[in-house]
């Protein structure tokens, strides 16, 4: 059990990997399965994170505030979907990235003027004192309190990866139902789907909401894993990372989303601990250069990603 | 074969649609009797495809009514019309390229409860229906000579095979009226004859009604009970093939247009 008492650098890396895997699983439903280029995915994560953190600090039980976080993100995605899903392809991408920025900037300016009390605490965000200590600590210390000597980050790590497993398997199973078939058909040709009597629009709204729920769950775990977070944690780069993950893993593949998250996080985070002799700034730049090179190599030699299907790439538009 | 229509399966009442200043469809009215084959002809740009879109629910007319099986469907969404049995195909066949031929077929089946998200989440729900649907899909694919292709990606099919897949997929949707947009375009003559034979057989065996847009005049004259000719958005002539063929206004509509392809 000695390695469990000190997971060292792998605990934080794997926890963040799990969080990104959840985020990417949601994006995989929207982009990989339904073909909806949602470039505002991080907004769902933000809504989930803030909803959970705020409700928590108000004393709402953990599970309830997580459920509320999912509900808020799903509702927001569905509401946004109704006017915007008539847009196709690139137009949807532009509108969603703008909407995500609006959400982030609203959180940064705080919504005090609208709701009459400080809610998101502006640019400094929410910290440990407001929610983490009371709510997350019992979970983190659960092992120690029961007399077991294991790493304090283990409980959260296990919870996050259980969620990844459950969500991943659930989405995979759902994609194999007749509903999943309609979703993929919408990606191929929406008009033909309508001509065959299926409600393509409803299906797209549902795919958006399911993807948003995954992102919100990622947001909840993100909060649980942080001492402090602020709107700066939800810049568009998070969405781009999720896109990188699903391209790495293979569009449309759920295990690809998990594998892609692992590859990206190991490239970005594990390399922090390699002694290179460069300055910190140089190393940070170097890590992204490595990610870029890996992506380029992938596109050149395995364009379908780790688990993608080559035929689907060739046959696609 | 031309029955005296009791109440028509489809009727259009003074349908109009303008795109900006262009009156694409300008006051079209006609009926399609149940069990009949109606051809919609006219030179390029006459508004046939737009009218087709209006009937199928892909365009909303500015005025006028579309009545299907006694119900006013003018404001109904396309998918809801398809569920009533008003199913269209496209000028260029639209298959779901990155899905298998069989999945293309299965998707089109109506009454699969698990097409809905909530039922899909109930394990086993829709399985009984799935078995029926699959049997039917294999029957249809075999009938259209695609039996051996069912596991292939639809995107890997040839142009002619895609046309056959789209036709058989439309049949999976249990249509009462099939709207075929240029079923013979880009199809070799042998395959064209096969498609027309399928059309006649389905009408005879299952009482299916057809409305098709077509430029191939031989096919129109041989297979249609009724021909409707459009020109510049208006109805030029309508009636049995032999009457429409000799109608001076029809000749003028074609000869007045740039490309002449009337005689055959």
- Could you tell me the CA-to-CA distances from B54 to A81, A115, A275, B18, B22 in Å, in that order? 26, 47, 68, 12, 16
- Chain A residues inside the 8 Å CB shell of B94: 189, 191-192
- Share of chain B residues as helix, strand and coil, in percent rounded to the nearest 5: 40, 25, 35
Do residues A238 and A104 lie in contact, with contact meaning Cβ atoms separated by under 8 Å? no
Please give the Cα distance from B57 to B87 (Å, whole number): 10
Q: Looking at the structure, do residues B19 and B118 belong to the same domain, yes or no?
A: no
B120 vs A174, A185, A191: nearest CB = A174
Q: Is residue B168 part of a domain?
A: no
Q: Is residue B164 part of a domain?
A: no
Which pLDDT does position A255 carry in this prediction?
95
Q: Looking at the structure, do residues B85 and B133 belong to the same domain, yes or no?
A: no
Instruction: Give the distance from residue B129's alpha carbon to the nearest chain A alpha carbon, in angstroms.
Output: 11
Q: Looking at the structure, do residues B185 and B59 belong to the same domain, yes or no?
A: yes
Query: What are the domain boundaries of chain A?
Result: 2-234
Average pLDDT of adjacent 10-residue blocks, chain A of 317 residues: 63 92 97 94 96 86 91 95 81 92 90 76 75 63 71 82 97 95 95 95 95 97 87 93 93 94 87 74 82 86 87 72
pLDDT tens for each residue of chain B, 264 residues long: 444 546 799 999 999 999 988 899 999 999 999 999 999 999 888 999 999 999 999 999 999 999 999 999 999 999 999 999 999 999 889 999 999 999 999 999 998 888 889 888 888 777 888 999 999 999 999 999 999 999 999 999 998 899 999 999 999 999 999 999 999 888 888 889 999 999 999 999 999 999 999 988 888 999 999 999 999 999 999 999 998 888 888 888 876 654 545 444
DSSP code string of A39-82:
TTHHHHHHHHHHHHHHHHHTT--HHHHHHHHHHHHHHHHHHHHH
Please give the Cα distance from A87 to A218 (Å, whole number): 27
Question: Considering only residues 221 to 280 of chain A, which have any Cβ-Cβ distance to chain B shorter than 8 Å?
Answer: none
pTM: 0.90
Which pLDDT does position A317 carry in this prediction?
54
B214-264, pLDDT tens digit by residue?
Answer: 988 888 999 999 999 999 999 999 999 998 888 888 888 876 654 545 444
Count of domains forming chain B: 2
- Chain B residues inside the 8 Å CB shell of A189: 94-96
Q: Is residue B243 part of a domain?
A: yes
- Chain B residues inside the 8 Å CB shell of A182: 107, 115
Which pLDDT does position A285 carry in this prediction?
82
Where in the sequence is the domain holding B76, given as residue range(s)?
10-95+174-256
Q: Mark yes or no for CB contact B116/A179 under 8 Å.
A: yes
Which pLDDT does position A299 carry in this prediction?
83
Paired tokens of B211: 């409305």
For strand B10-19 and strand A228-229, is the pairing parallel, antiparallel, or unpaired? Answer: unpaired
Please give the Cα distance from B236 to B28 (Å, whole number): 10
Q: Looking at the structure, do residues B252 and B144 belong to the same domain, yes or no?
A: no
Q: Looking at the structure, do residues B109 and B222 belong to the same domain, yes or no?
A: no
Question: Considering only residues 273 to 302 of chain A, which have any Cβ-Cβ distance to chain B shorter than 8 Å?
Answer: none
Q: Looking at the structure, do residues B54 and B123 belong to the same domain, yes or no?
A: no
Q: Which residue of B has its CA nearest to A199?
A: B79
B94 vs A191, A198, A312: nearest CB = A191
Q: Is residue B200 part of a domain?
A: yes
Q: Looking at the structure, do residues B29 and B145 belong to the same domain, yes or no?
A: no
Nearest one of A214, A216, A192, A190 to A203, comparing CA atoms: A190
Interface confidence: ipTM more than 0.95 = no
A184 vs B82, B99, B170: nearest CB = B99
Q: Looking at the structure, do residues B178 and B243 belong to the same domain, yes or no?
A: yes
Q: Is residue B161 part of a domain?
A: no
Instruction: Give the distance from residue A10's alpha carbon to the nearest chain B alpha carbon, in angstroms.
Output: 35
B96-117, pLDDT tens digit by residue?
Answer: 999 999 999 999 999 888 888 9
- Chain B residues inside the 8 Å CB shell of A312: 98, 153
Q: Mark yes or no for CB contact A195/B107 under 8 Å.
A: no
**For the stretch B160-179, what's the b/e string if a residue is b when 16 or more beta carbons lie within 10 angstroms of its beta carbon?**
bbbbbbbbbbbbbbbbbbbb
Burial class of A168 by CB neighbour count within 10 A (0 to 12, 13 to 18, 19+):
buried
A198 vs B79, B89, B155: nearest CB = B79
Q: Looking at the structure, do residues B221 and B183 belong to the same domain, yes or no?
A: yes
- Chain A residues inside the 8 Å CB shell of B114: 177-179
Query: Residue B79 maps to which CATH number?
Result: 3.40.50.300
Q: Looking at the structure, do residues B249 and B213 belong to the same domain, yes or no?
A: yes
Q: Looking at the structure, do residues B205 and B87 belong to the same domain, yes or no?
A: yes
Q: Mark yes or no for CB contact B120/A185 under 8 Å.
A: no
Q: Which residue of B has its CA nearest to A186?
A: B96
Q: Looking at the structure, do residues B71 and B180 belong to the same domain, yes or no?
A: yes
Inform me whether the C-beta atom of residue A194 falls under 8 Å from chain B C-beta atoms: yes
Q: Which residue of B has its CA nearest to A206?
A: B117
Q: Mark yes or no for CB contact B99/A316 under 8 Å.
A: no
Q: Which long-range contacts (CB under 8 A, 24 or more apart) does A66-69 make?
A: A66/A217, A66/A220, A69/A216, A69/A217, A69/A219, A69/A220
Beta strands in A200-240 (DSSP E): 228-229
Q: Mark yes or no for CB contact A316/B98 under 8 Å.
A: yes
Interface test with B, best of A197, A200, A317 (most B CBs within 10 A): A197
């Amino acid at each position: 059990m000695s390695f469990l008492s000190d997971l060292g650098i792998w605990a934080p890396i794997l926890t963040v990997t799990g969080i990104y895997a959840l985020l990417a699983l949601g994006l995989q439903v929207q982009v990989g399965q339904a073909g909806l280029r949602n470039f505002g995915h991080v907004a769902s994560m933000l809504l989930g994170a803030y909803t959970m953190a705020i409700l928590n600090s108000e004393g709402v039980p953990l599970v309830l505030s997580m459920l509320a976080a999912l509900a808020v993100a799903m509702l927001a995605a569905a509401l946004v979907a109704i006017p915007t899903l008539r847009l196709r392809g690139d137009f949807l991408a532009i509108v969603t990235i703008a909407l995500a920025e609006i959400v982030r900037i609203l959180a940064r300016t705080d919504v005090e003027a609208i709701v009459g009390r400080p809610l998101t605490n502006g640019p400094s965000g929410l910290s440990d004192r407001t929610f983490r200590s009371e709510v997350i600590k019992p979970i983190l210390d659960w092992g120690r309190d029961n007399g077991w000597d294991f790493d304090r980050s283990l409980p959260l790590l296990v919870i996050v990866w259980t969620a990844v497993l459950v969500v991943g398997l659930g989405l995979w199973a759902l994609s194999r139902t007749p509903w999943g078939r309609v979703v993929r058909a919408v990606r191929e040709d929406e008009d033909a789907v309508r001509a065959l009597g299926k409600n393509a629009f409803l299906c797209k709204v549902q795919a958006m909401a399911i993807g948003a729920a995954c992102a919100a769950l990622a947001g909840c775990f993100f909060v649980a894993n942080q001492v402090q977070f602020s709107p700066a944690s939800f810049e568009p780069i998070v969405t781009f990372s999720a896109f990188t993950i699903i391209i790495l893993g293979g569009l449309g593949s759920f295990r690809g989303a998990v594998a892609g998250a692992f590859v990206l996080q190991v490239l970005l985070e594990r390399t922090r601990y390699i002694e290179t002799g460069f300055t910190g700034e140089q190393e940070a730049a170097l890590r992204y250069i490595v990610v870029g090179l890996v992506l380029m190599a992938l596109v050149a030699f395995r364009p379908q990603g780790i688990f993608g299907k080559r035929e689907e790439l060739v046959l696609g538009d | 074969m031309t029955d005296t229509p009791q109440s028509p399966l489809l009727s259009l009442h003074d349908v109009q649609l303008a795109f900006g200043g262009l009156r694409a469809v300008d006051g079209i009215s006609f009926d399609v009797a149940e069990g009949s084959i109606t051809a919609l002809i006219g030179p390029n740009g006459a508004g046939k495809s737009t009218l087709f879109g209006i009937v199928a629910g892909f365009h909303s007319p500015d005025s006028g009514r579309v009545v299907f099986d006694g119900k006013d469907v003018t404001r109904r969404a396309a998918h809801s019309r398809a569920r009533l049995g008003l199913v269209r195909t496209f000028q260029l066949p639209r298959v779901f390229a990155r899905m298998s031929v069989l999945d293309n077929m299965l998707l089109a089946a109506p009454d699969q409860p698990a097409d809905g998200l909530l039922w899909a989440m109930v394990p086993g729900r829709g399985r009984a229906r799935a078995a029926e649907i699959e049997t039917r899909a294999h029957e249809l694919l075999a009938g259209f000579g695609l039996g051996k292709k069912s596991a292939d990606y639809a995107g890997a099919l040839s142009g002619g095979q895609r046309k056959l897949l789209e036709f058989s997929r439309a049949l999976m949707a249990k249509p009462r009226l099939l709207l075929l947009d240029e079923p013979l375009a880009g199809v070799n003559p042998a395959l064209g004859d096969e498609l027309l034979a399928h059309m006649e057989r389905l009408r005879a065996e299952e009482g299916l009604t057809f409305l098709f847009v077509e430029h191939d005049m031989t096919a129109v004259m041989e297979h249609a009970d009724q021909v409707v000719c459009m020109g510049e958005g208006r109805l030029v002539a309508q009636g049995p093939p032999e009457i429409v063929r000799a109608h001076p206004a029809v000749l003028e509509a074609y000869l007045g247009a740039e490309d002449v392809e009337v005689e055959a």
